Amino acid sequence: MGLFHIGFLKFGIIDLIDVAIVAFLFYRFLILVKGTRSIQILFGVFVLILFSFVAFWFQLEGLKWMISNIATVGIIVLVIVFQPELRKALAQFGHNKLFRLFIRYEKQKILDELIKGSIKLSELKYGALIVLEREIGLKNFIETGKSLNAQLSSEMLLTLFTPYTPLHDGAAIIRGETIVAAACTLPLTQKREYDTLFGMRHKAGIGITEDSDAISLIVSEETGEISIASNGFLIRGVEKEKLREILIKILEGNK
């Protein structure tokens, strides 16, 4: 065993942060594999790490050689073995509020295009029904329309809902930053209070939010009025200046 260097004994604030981060990541990984078959494999990895520590501490050349060769392919093997847990960890990280700060800018751009397109449709009095897919998939309704998979933009929305064009009837369904389909058929609301007040477009916009957690934007072709449907309820006559604020509140889960 060699002598310890004085520098090795120094432990500053950076070292403390380093240890804390490693400990946290290690703890989260243990939570993920708890109760799975992977925990047994993880125990074997710990034993291997212990042997490697002993080998390098006592300079056991034969054991060091064996562990070094195992480590060469060990990382690839671990990635394959722990693939479900790693995928789950990345998914949880993606839903973390801190991580969302980094993707907020992209979402902001998408919202800008959606609002810009809705306001332009309102000014031109082009009837429109735009549905934002959220956690609950809308595959059944997407299949009733025409597949697009087009990048969301205000110009694309304006083109789709221009009167007498092939896809202006029905709903456009948006997933993330993509308009996945247009001219889709949606279920009509079953609420009696909406029976006589609105036409098919508004009833369909409300109906889809009763069957899912989607959000609908409806533009009236008679008045140009913009309405928002969520959770089976309709907000009528949304002012252009308030459109962004209301959408953000609904997307954040506020009533």
- Per-residue pLDDT tens digits for 16-45: 887 888 788 777 666 665 655 555 666 666
Question: Residue 185 corresponds to which tokens in the numbers above?
Answer: 């058929």
Nearest-10 crossing angle of helices 83-94, 13-33:
120
For 4, 20, 24, 25, the CA distances from 13, given in Å and listed in that order, are 21, 10, 16, 18
Q: Are 131 and 214 in contact (CB under 8 A)?
A: yes
Rounded to a whole number of angstroms, the CA Rg of the chain reads: 28
Distance CA 212, CA 175 (A): 14
State pLDDT tens for residues 99-149.
444 445 456 778 889 999 999 999 999 999 999 998 888 989 999 999 999
Q: What is the mean pLDDT of the chain?
A: 79
pLDDT > 70: percent of the chain: 70
Question: Residue type at 145?
Answer: G
Torsion of CA 95, 101, 106, 111, to 10 degrees: 90
Question: Residue type at 248?
Answer: I
Distance CA 207, CA 216 (A): 9
Which string of DSSP letters, residue by residue, matches 190-228? --GGGTTT--HHHHHHHHHHHHSS-EEEEE-TTT--EEE
- Compute the average pLDDT of residues 181-206: 86
Residue 6 has a pLDDT of 46
Residue 102 has a pLDDT of 40
Pairing of strands 171-175, 128-132: parallel
Distance CA 215, CA 231 (A): 8
Cβ-Cβ contacts under 8 Å for 110 (sequence gap 6 or more): 152, 176, 177
Residue 23 has a pLDDT of 80
Question: Residue 196 corresponds to which tokens in the numbers above?
Answer: 């006589």
For 42, 76, 83, 106, the CA distances from 38, given in Å and listed in that order, are 6, 15, 10, 36
State pLDDT tens for residues 56-111.
777 777 766 776 766 666 666 666 655 655 555 555 555 455 444 444 545 677 88
Distance CA 171, CA 207 (A): 12
Q: Are 130 and 180 in contact (CB under 8 A)?
A: no
Distance CA 150, CA 146 (A): 11
Phi, then psi, of 6 in degrees rounded to 5 = -60, -40
Q: Are 11 and 20 in contact (CB under 8 A)?
A: no
- Domains of the chain, with CATH numbers? 6-94 (no CATH), 104-251 (3.40.1700.10)
Distance of CA 28 to the CA centre of its chain: 21
